[in-house]
Structure 1
Amino acid sequence: MKFCIFGAGGTGGTLAAYLAMAGNDVTLIARGAHLQAIRENGLILHTNHRGTETIENITACTEAEYNDCPDVLFVCVKYYNIEDAIAFVKAKISKDTLIIPILNVFGTGGIMQEKLPEYTCLDGCIYVMSEIEAPGIIYQSNKILRVIYGYRPGQPVRLEKTAQTLEQVLQKAEIRGHFSENIVRDALQKFAFVSPAAAAGMYFDATCEAFQQTGEPRDMFVGLIKEVVALGKAMGVEFQQDLVEVGLNMMDNLKPDSTMSMQRDIQQGRQSEFDGLVTRVVKLGQEYGVAVPLYEVINEWGNP
């Protein structure tokens, strides 16, 4: 299967590495020193569970240089760069390509679809713990790697064969791929972990260790999950699991010194996904009439 991965950070780099190692045709859209290092040395994947892999069968190029027609485009940029992805699709991507954004922010597929009405933009999410360790090197700190994608309610079902085949291709690449029949529920379930974890981690400036033991940080994390669950129920989502229990289990199984990407971005003075992971929840709460007082506290604290 032919893939284009737009965004070569921890998410896009890890996804590209696994897909290429399974023999798929993969092009990675990258920039700067990271792009140059991949061109010179291949993409290096550093993990704790499978050692270090050097993947040389990946094509790396800039947005302008890309000139191909992939079966699937995975959008793996940060939320604040979504307009760059939309511009790339308009300039370079065929309407026969299935587009799947797998950002941290809930509902990104619908946001892209509004601006790309002639294309097929699904919703999706990914479970992965990875980051750029150095130019050309991706560090995957935890073996979890799961991609979920699907059509939104009422969305025209186009390119369905590609969507069905993709599930098998992902699984053969040692990625837990799942073609979901209820992507709103599944994407919101993922958001109900990553958003509270990022928001609380930033607010307390703490590693996962602080959330793995009894105390105010853990209580805040649980409270934020409950607010996302309440929002989901107001949207008509029926969760099949206790998301507090799921979130705590995920948190307790992370390495104690782990942090979320938004937290790292803020610590390093980079642009962050605060608007998508925190402010967006406050706005959705207003839209659906759901009280989200903890999110409001963090939003006000982050926007003095």
Structure 2
Amino acid sequence: MKFCIFGAGGTGGVLAAYLAMAGNDVTLIARGKHLEAIREQGLTLHTNHRGTEVVKNLTACTAAEYEDVPDVCFVCVKYYNIEDAIDFAREKLGKDTLIVPVLNVFGTGGMMQEKLPELTCLDGCIYVMGQIEAPGVIYQSDKMLRVIYGYRPGQEQKLLPIAQELEKVLQAAEIRGHFSDNIIRDALQKFAYVSPAGAAGAYFNVTSDKLQQEGPEREMFAGLIREVVALGKAMGIAFEKDLVETGLSIMDVLKPGSTTSMQRDILRGGKSEFAGLVTRVVELGETYHVPVPLYQKINEWGKEHLQLHG
């Protein structure tokens, strides 16, 4: 299967590496020194569970240079760069490409679809711990790697054979791929982990160690999950799992010292996904008349202490 991976950070880099190592045709859209290093030396995947591998059977180029027709385009940018992905899709992709955004922020696929009515944008999410360690080098700190995607309720199921085949291709690449029949539930379930983890970690400025121990940090993390669950129920979503228990279980198996991408962005003093992961929940609470006091507390802290870009 032919893939375009738009975004070469921790998420896109890991996906590109695994898919290419499984023999798929992969083009990674990157930029700057990261792109230069991948072109010269290949993409290096550094992991704790499978060692270090240099992946050379993939193509890397800029968005402007891309001239191909992929079966699937995974959108792996930060939410504050989503307009770049929309522009790329509008200019470079066509009706034969299935677009699967796997951003941290809930509802990205529907938003992209509104702006790209002629194309097919699914919703999706990913469970992965990855980051750029150095130009051309991606560090995957935990073996967790799961991709869930699907059509939204009422969405016309264009390119269905590709969507069905994608699940098999992902699994063959050692990625836990799942073609969901309830992507809204599954995406919000993922959001119910990544948003609370990022919010609590940023607010207390702590790594996973603190969130793995009893104390105010862990209580905040669990409380934030409960607020997202309450929102989901107000939206008519019936969760099949106890999301607090699930979130705590995921947190407890992370490598000590782990942080979320939002935390790392905040510490660097640049753009972060705070508005998409925190402020958005406050707004949804107002829309669905659901109290979210913990999110409101962290949102007010963010307004006071952070430069909020998106």
Hey, what does 2:180 align to over in structure 1? 180
Hey, what does 2:33 align to over in structure 1? 33
Opposite residue 58 of structure 1, the aligned amino acid is L
Hey, what does 1:102 align to over in structure 2? 102
Hey, what does 2:76 align to over in structure 1? 76
Cα displacement (A) at 1:183: 0.3
Q: Detail structure 1 runs of 4+ shifted over 3 Å in the superposition.
A: none
- Cα distance in 2, alignment partners of residues 291 and 117 from structure 1: 34
Opposite residue 3 of structure 1, the aligned amino acid is F
Q: How many pairs were matched up?
A: 304
Question: Alignment partner of 2:143: what SS?
Answer: strand
- Cα distance in 2, alignment partners of residues 286 and 113 from structure 1: 24
Cα displacement (A) at 1:213: 1.0
Listed one character per residue, the Cα deviations across residues 54-88 of structure 1 (whole Å, up to 9, x for unaligned) are: 00011000000000000000000000000000000
Hey, what does 2:121 align to over in structure 1? 121
Listed one character per residue, the Cα deviations across residues 8-51 of structure 1 (whole Å, up to 9, x for unaligned) are: 00000000000000000000000000000000000000001100
- Cα distance in 1, alignment partners of residues 120 and 291 from structure 2: 34
- Cα distance in 1, alignment partners of residues 209 and 48 from structure 2: 19
- Cα distance in 1, alignment partners of residues 220 and 202 from structure 2: 12
What does 1:1-304 align with in structure 2 at a 5 Å threshold?
1-304=1-304
Opposite residue 164 of structure 2, the aligned amino acid is Q
Cα displacement (A) at 1:270: 1.9
- Cα distance in 2, alignment partners of residues 120 and 65 from structure 1: 22
Q: What is the RMSD of the two structures over their aligned residues, measured on CA atoms?
A: 0.5
- Cα distance in 2, alignment partners of residues 222 and 256 from structure 1: 18
- Cα distance in 2, alignment partners of residues 46 and 218 from structure 1: 29
Opposite residue 275 of structure 1, the aligned amino acid is A
Listed one character per residue, the Cα deviations across residues 194-220 of structure 1 (whole Å, up to 9, x for unaligned) are: 000000000000011111111100110
Question: Alignment partner of 1:69: what SS?
Answer: coil
Cα displacement (A) at 1:268: 1.1
Cα displacement (A) at 1:297: 0.5
- Cα distance in 1, alignment partners of residues 268 and 28 from structure 2: 25
- Cα distance in 2, alignment partners of residues 223 and 81 from structure 1: 29
Cα displacement (A) at 1:255: 1.3
Cα displacement (A) at 1:146: 0.3
TM-score of the pair, normalised by structure 1: 0.99
Opposite residue 132 of structure 1, the aligned amino acid is I
Opposite residue 70 of structure 1, the aligned amino acid is P
- Cα distance in 2, alignment partners of residues 108 and 131 from structure 1: 21
TM-score of the pair, normalised by structure 2: 0.98
Percent identity between the two aligned chains: 74
Structure 1, unpaired ranges of 5+: none
- Cα distance in 1, alignment partners of residues 269 and 34 from structure 2: 19
Opposite residue 239 of structure 1, the aligned amino acid is F
Opposite residue 251 of structure 1, the aligned amino acid is M
Cα displacement (A) at 1:301: 0.6
